[in-house]
C-alpha cells in the first residue's frame, strides 16, 4: 500500500470576531414549529384576542403572542425582557417585524384580555398539544413505554404592591398557586389562583383534556 500523506487543501480557514452572532439561535426551531402548526393564522382567526378597534394600527395578537413565546423560550419572564429582544437584530429579522413591541404595549394587550380570550388560548394550546402528539415520534413522548399524565401545584412567589389573588402561603411567602396538567413532556392546561386547595382544578383539567 502506497504511503498516504496529508496535503494542503484548497480551503482557507480564518477565525474572526463575529459581532452579529445571536444568543437566540434556538428561536429558528421555535419559528419553524410555529410555521408548521400555522400558529399565526390560527391566532388571527380568534377575533376576541384582538382588542384593537382599528386592526390596521398597532401590533396584532399574533405579534404580541409570538413575542412572548420568543421571550419565554429564551429563558426570560418579564415584560421588559420581551422588549429587550429588540437588541438582537437577527431575532427581529427572524420574527418578521421592524421592531418588537415595548413592554407597555405588551402589558396593555395582556390587560385587555377577557375570560373569553383566555379560554380561546387554552383551547388553542390543547390543539397544539394534540398536533404535537400526532406528529412526534412516540419515543419522544413516552416514558418506559407509557404516556404519563402529571398534575402539579406550583407556588409562584411574587414581589410588589399589587398582585391580584396573591396571599401568604404555607411557607409564609406571598404567592399565587399555579396548577398545571402535563401530558408526557407537554404542558396542556394550567390555572392561576390564590393559594388554597392545591387540587381544586385537578378534576376540571382531567375532564377538559380526557381525549388526549
Give percent of the chain above pLDDT 70: 93
Same domain, 207 and 159: yes
Give the model's pLDDT for residue 161.
74
Please check whether residue 101 is in contact with residue 78, taking contact to mean a CB–CB distance below 8 angstroms: no
Number of domains in the chain: 2
Give the model's pLDDT for residue 131.
96
Q: Domain limits at 179?
A: 138-212
Q: Rounded CA gap, 205 and 83, in Å?
A: 33
Q: Rounded CA gap, 209 and 212, in Å?
A: 6
Same domain, 79 and 158: no
Same domain, 144 and 107: no
Please check whether residue 175 is in contact with residue 166, taking contact to mean a CB–CB distance below 8 angstroms: yes
Residues 6+ positions from 69 with CB-CB distance below 8 Å: 30, 34
What are the distances in angstroms from CA 167 to CA 74, 77, 178, 200? 29, 21, 13, 17
**Looking at the domain assignment, is residue 126 inside a domain?**
no
Please check whether residue 70 is in contact with residue 94, taking contact to mean a CB–CB distance below 8 angstroms: no
**Looking at the domain assignment, is residue 14 inside a domain?**
no
Q: Rounded CA gap, 111 and 99, in Å?
A: 21
Helix 103-111 × helix 61-73 angle, to 10°: 110
pLDDT in tens, 50-68: 998 877 788 999 999 999 9
Q: Rounded CA gap, 135 and 77, in Å?
A: 29
pLDDT along the chain (212 residues), means of 10: 67 72 79 94 94 84 95 88 91 91 95 94 94 92 92 89 83 91 94 90 93 88
Q: At 134, list the grid cell.
A: 400526532
Nearest partner of 115 among 39, 193, 48, judged by Cα? 48
Q: At 206, list the grid cell.
A: 382531567
**Looking at the domain assignment, is residue 131 inside a domain?**
no
Question: Rounded to 5 degrees, what angle do the CA atoms 38, 123, 117 make?
Answer: 95
Give the model's pLDDT for residue 5.
61
Rg (CA), the chain: 22
Same domain, 75 and 146: no
**Looking at the domain assignment, is residue 104 inside a domain?**
yes
Bridge partners of 75, per DSSP, are none
Give the model's pLDDT for residue 3.
66
Amino acid at each position: 500500500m502506497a504511503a498516504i500523506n496529508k496535503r494542503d487543501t484548497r480551503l482557507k480557514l480564518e477565525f474572526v470576531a463575529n459581532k452579529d452572532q445571536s444568543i437566540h439561535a434556538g428561536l429558528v426551531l421555535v419559528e419553524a414549529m410555529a410555521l408548521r402548526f400555522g400558529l399565526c393564522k390560527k391566532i388571527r382567526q380568534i377575533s376576541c384576542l384582538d382588542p384593537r378597534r382599528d386592526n390596521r394600527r398597532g401590533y396584532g395578537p399574533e405579534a404580541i403572542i409570538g413575542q412572548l413565546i420568543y421571550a419565554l423560550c429564551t429563558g426570560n419572564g418579564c415584560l421588559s425582557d420581551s422588549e429587550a429582544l429588540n437588541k438582537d437584530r437577527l431575532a427581529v429579522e427572524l420574527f418578521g417585524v421592524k421592531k418588537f413591541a415595548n413592554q407597555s404595549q405588551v402589558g396593555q394587550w395582556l390587560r385587555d384580555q377577557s375570560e373569553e380570550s383566555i379560554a380561546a388560548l387554552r383551547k388553542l394550546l390543547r390543539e397544539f398539544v394534540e398536533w404535537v402528539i400526532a406528529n412526534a415520534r412516540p419515543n419522544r413522548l413516552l416514558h418506559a413505554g407509557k404516556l404519563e399524565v402529571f398534575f402539579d401545584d406550583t407556588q409562584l412567589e411574587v414581589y410588589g404592591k399589587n398582585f391580584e389573588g396573591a396571599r401568604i402561603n404555607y411557607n409564609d411567602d406571598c404567592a399565587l398557586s399555579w396548577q398545571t396538567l402535563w401530558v408526557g413532556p407537554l404542558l396542556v392546561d394550567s390555572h392561576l389562583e390564590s393559594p388554597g386547595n392545591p387540587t381544586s382544578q385537578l378534576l376540571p383539567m382531567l375532564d377538559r383534556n380526557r381525549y388526549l
